[in-house]
Homo-oligomer: A and B are copies of this chain.
Amino acid sequence: MTRASGLRAALDPASIAIIGASDNPHKVGGRPILYMKRYGYRGAIYPINPARAEVQGLKAYPDLASLPQAPELAIVAVSGEEAVGAVAACAARGVKVCVVMSSGFGEIGAAGRALQERMLAAARDAGMRLVGPNCQGLANFATGAVANFSTVFNEMEGRDGPVAIVSQSGACSQAIYALARARGLDVRHVHATGNEADVTVADLAAEIVAEEGVRLVLLYLEAIADPERLAAAAEAARARDLPIVAVKAGRTESGRRAASSHTGALASEDRVVDAFFERHAIWRVDDPYALVAAGRLYLEGWRPRGKRFVALSNSGASCVMAADAADEFGLPLADFPPAAREQLAAVLPAFATAANPLDVTGALLSNSLLFANALPVLAAEVESDLMLVALPVAGAGYDVAGFARDFAAYARNTGRAVALAAPQEAVRAEFEKAGLPAFVREREAMLALKQLAEHSALMRRTHRASGPSKASELPKTKSKFLDEAQSLALLAAAGLPVVEHRLCRSEDEARAAFAALGPKVVVKACSASVPHKTELGLVRVGLNSEEEVIRAFRDFKPKIPAADGVLVARHAAGRRELALGARIDSSFGPVVLVGDGGIYLEALKDFRLLLPPFSEREALDALAQLRIAPLLAGARGQPALDIGAFATMAVRLGDAMLGWNGGVASFDVNPVMVFGEGGGALAVDALAEAY
């Protein structure tokens, strides 16, 4: 994955050949020429068409060999075997990047896959990069290098700007582009990678994040074939405060089925993708619309350090709904201290309430300065990060342009994020003219503000350096699983507290164990051949006599291989059982699970995933997002649980997974018994699966 990308020529080629160039500007082989002329491409354009002397007014060439020079980029708009031949010819001629628009390859089944493989082999042999096949291609509106046949550039004029769109799907790249332009966002890059035989969304993203003029990157993905490359792109972006927002489709079972018939992509468990995106500060959304929704907020350069929220409106109803939504979305209403309330009362109508959300009332119609007078008070006296302006009523008699200027000045002076919500287009247009983001809907404006704040926090988050690089010692095992004693020993060696226990091979040892660990113990069969003991009745809990212990020993021993023993463990009565686990994801590597424990982990799915190495803070953040979070903090007057101790265990298990270097395929630590605050936490059950 550390190959030299050779992709600069994909974004900024000095010359472009079109193999299968068409005189019809609305055919696949014609559109790129139309667009390059329209959007001012300054490099050489070489239409290749053996049947014509001229194509769209440009000199045409019969073949690559006749060109005065090797083009840096070549578009292949011929199909089937002919396309395979064209790619081979490009490779031979020294083309740097080949964009294969033709379809009929990997996406149609085995025969197409074979063609695609041959194409790729030719490119690889020559060190040429291959975009596609079955792709709409690359478009750069900074240079006019539009090696792309998307219809949408004919419908909505391209205009260079700070946004880059990279999408596996061509149709989706057009939808994102159309929505971005409709919101007044100017877009430099629109790339669609299609079958991704070679070049992926991540490859192009990695190239683009280095461009200074790009200030927002939007991605659409169905598979993440090269997570390391995407991670590297994301970290480079983060290093220069460049936000990346992404759709990763195929979230659900049905979605994955649809994706596999669309691109043949095989998907990881979706929450691993969440964990991966979170770790690399990529903000995940659900659709193209959501990709662009917060665009203007990012581009203003606002990076709020908190989520303290203020709303202003000339409608009490909007204030009520904003307060509802603030609670629902977890945006704390900024406190108005007495000085603020006093000063606001002085500038507002007598019947207005100086509270947050702030209803300046319908008096705004007769007094256009209400916002202008209130805003300096909010700037000086109220600590906040995010502001919503809701104007459900405006029109004749309202100085909307003045309001827009007032709020723009507030945003400029405070550096705080401001968004407008108004149902009337003319009102939104005035605010946008003043440089402020505008939404139809209060809730949507608030969600964009929330996204901005939470994404900014993610982008600021520093990560722990990678864990130990040397592989830790692992016990030899011939079976798929380690037995519980081995599993617990591994955990203990990794620094996780485990329940006190003894492995007993004789009744005498069992007696001694009871004497040492009683008065109350758990007895379990301990054998790598019986990983799921509970289901087989090979676990007995709450035993409080030597007699019961020996009876369990005698019952269990014959049911396991002679070399294996029986484990006697101290009874641990904590406050709640949580689940801890880890496994190797085939795409993303080690993943750690923290969640509500016990037998309902799978049914209720109240868990979060983390990619190691992560910090205690990150583990605690993940726990705070569980549905049972209120219980962890101590419900019904009970003291809080010692989730700090649990978080430490999660961190160490993650580090250990890295240290084992793939030697452990999965590790279930369910339950971990968690005690009250200060009481710690203890692994009471453990099952490691060897690779």
| A interface residues with partner B (beta carbon < 8 Å) | 26, 103-104, 107-109, 112, 150-152, 154-156, 167-172, 174-175, 178-179, 182, 220, 222, 247, 249-255, 257-259, 261-263, 286-289, 313-328, 333, 350-351, 353, 355, 357, 359, 362, 365, 392-398, 423-426, 440-444, 599-600, 602-604, 627-628, 630-631, 635-636
Contact = CB atoms under 8 A, between A and B. Distances in A.
A258 B322 CA distance: 9
Contacts of A321: 247, 249, 255, 286-287
A262 B393 contact: no
Given A108-B350, A321-B249, A254 B155 contact: no
A351 B442 CA distance: 44
A439 to B, nearest CB: 10
A317 B172 contact: yes
Nearest to A322: B258
A656 B108 CA distance: 65
A208 B589 CA distance: 62
B355 A392 contact: no
A355 B287 contact: no
A582 to B, nearest CB: 21
Given A151-B398, A249-B317, A599-B635, 16 more contacts: A112-B351, A151-B397, A152-B424, A155-B395, A174-B393, A179-B423, A179-B440, A252-B324, A253-B327, A254-B327, A255-B323, A258-B322, A261-B353, A289-B443, A603-B630, A627-B627
A370 to B, nearest CB: 15
8 contacts: A151-B396, A167-B317, A171-B315, A255-B321, A255-B324, A257-B323, A286-B325, A627-B627
Contacts of A600: 631, 635-636
A450 B129 CA distance: 45
Copies in the complex: 2
Contact of A171 (B249, B317, B627): B317
Contact of A151 (B170, B317, B326, B395): B395
Contacts of A167: 317
Contacts of A326: 252, 254
Given A423-B179, A631-B603, A636-B602, A288 B258 contact: no
Contact of A319 (B258, B316, B353): B258
Nearest to A396: B154
A220 B315 CA distance: 13
Given A178-B423, A636-B603, A316 B263 contact: yes
A660 to B, nearest CB: 29
Nearest to A169: B317
Contact of A251 (B103, B328, B351, B357): B328
B393 A171 contact: yes
A interface, over-half SS: helix
B604 A631 contact: yes
A174 B394 CA distance: 9
Nearest to A603: B635
Query: In this complex, which of A258, A286, A313, A630 has the most chain B Cβ atoms within 10 angstroms of its Cβ?
Result: A258
Given A259-B320, A287-B321, A321-B255, A351 B108 contact: yes
Query: In this complex, which of A168, A169, A328 has the most chain B Cβ atoms within 10 angstroms of its Cβ?
Result: A169
A76 B299 CA distance: 49
B249 A324 contact: yes
Contacts of A322: 258
Contact of A442 (B287, B313, B604): B287
A170 B351 CA distance: 17
A251 B324 contact: yes
Contact of A254 (B318, B324, B398): B324
A8 to B, nearest CB: 27
A316 B603 contact: no
A323 B636 contact: no
A150 B423 CA distance: 14
Query: In this complex, which of A317, A425, A603 has the most chain B Cβ atoms within 10 angstroms of its Cβ?
Result: A317
B423 A175 contact: yes
A423 B254 contact: no
B171 A392 contact: yes
Contacts of A109: 351
A262 B319 contact: yes
Given A249-B317, A250-B324, A262 B359 contact: yes
A425 B261 CA distance: 29
List of 4 A-B pairs having minimum Cβ-Cβ separation, nearest first: A171-B315, A603-B635, A262-B316, A255-B324
Nearest to A638: B599
A174 B635 contact: no
A14 to B, nearest CB: 30
A333 B258 CA distance: 11
Contact of A397 (B26, B315, B355, B398): B26
Given A171-B393, A174-B392, A355 B258 contact: yes
B323 A392 contact: no
B26 A396 contact: yes
A324 B289 CA distance: 15
Contacts of A395: 151-152, 154-155
B396 A316 contact: no
Contacts of A392: 171-172, 174-175, 178, 288
A362 B172 CA distance: 12
Query: In this complex, which of A247, A289, A355, A425 has the most chain B Cβ atoms within 10 angstroms of its Cβ?
Result: A289
Nearest to A357: B258
Contacts of A628: 604
A191 to B, nearest CB: 14
